[in-house]
Amino acid sequence: MGKVLWTGKFRAKRPLRLGEHAKKVEETVEELGKQLRAWVRGEAVQADSVSEREHAADLVKREIRLELARVRKIPLPKDRVLELLWHQDEIADLSQDAALLMALRRPSLGLELEDAFRALGEALSKAVNTYVQAIVAFDSAYSAGRLAEKAQDISAQIDLVNRIEHESDLLEREIVATIYKREDLPPFDRYHLVQMVLVLGGTVDQVESAAGDLALLMAASR
């Protein structure tokens, strides 16, 4: 029998399992970070290892969706929960896309772009780790009926995700500008590198979107 998401109005709520899914997503991002560092070094990229972790996250996502479909009503807006789950899923999906792009091509980067892509990967990892701490805390506090006392800490983590995303945006612009200044790069290599920036940056954007959905769930829980 599958896990129960909640047990009734006057009984302790069970975790929504959003944190469980988020941890699987983080494993996908961690593996992407490993492959990104290999790509920067000019080594072979194992895109399948990222895809395997994305698939594991997908299985948890499907279980949560099925559990939500089996109940008529939950204490939180179901559409908000599903939207947050979708954004978490997009983080894993885009991580898989980034790994596939890296496996296809590794243009000549040079020291400046090598450092820049490392920094972008670190920003993604930091954003996801901060978000996962927030959603796991939410799951735990919600199920224990202690959300009010944990709200400030969770909100602080959401704010930190937003700051990291802003810093990532600035970094992405710098990287794209650097790519276009590199006249030694063939046009297709420039295009490929810009696509890499867009996919990695888009993944950070999805982390911010998930954090925004979490803020809305926090508001709906009051």
Q: What is the pLDDT of residues 148-203, one digit of tens each?
A: 889 999 999 999 999 999 999 999 999 999 999 999 999 999 999 999 999 999 99
Residue 94 has pLDDT above 70, yes or no: yes
The predicted structure's pLDDT at residue 5: 46
The predicted structure's pLDDT at residue 15: 65
Predicted TM-score (pTM) of this structure = 0.91
pLDDT interval class at 87 (50, 70, 90):
very high
200 near 98, Cβ under 8 Å? yes
What CATH number has the domain spanning 18-220? 1.20.58.220
Q: What is the 3-state secondary structure (H, E, C) of 112-137?
A: HHHHHHHHHHHHHHHHHHHHHHHHHH
20-36: pLDDT as tens digits: 999 999 999 999 999 99
The predicted structure's pLDDT at residue 20: 96
CA gap 194, 171 in Å, rounded: 13
Q: What average pLDDT does the segment 69-94 reach?
A: 91
**Helical (H) or strand (E) element with 156:** helix 147-181
Q: How do the domains of the chain map onto residue ranges?
A: 18-220
pLDDT interval class at 10 (50, 70, 90):
very low
Query: Which residue, among 25, 17, 57, has the nearest Cα to 138 in the 3D structure?
Result: 17
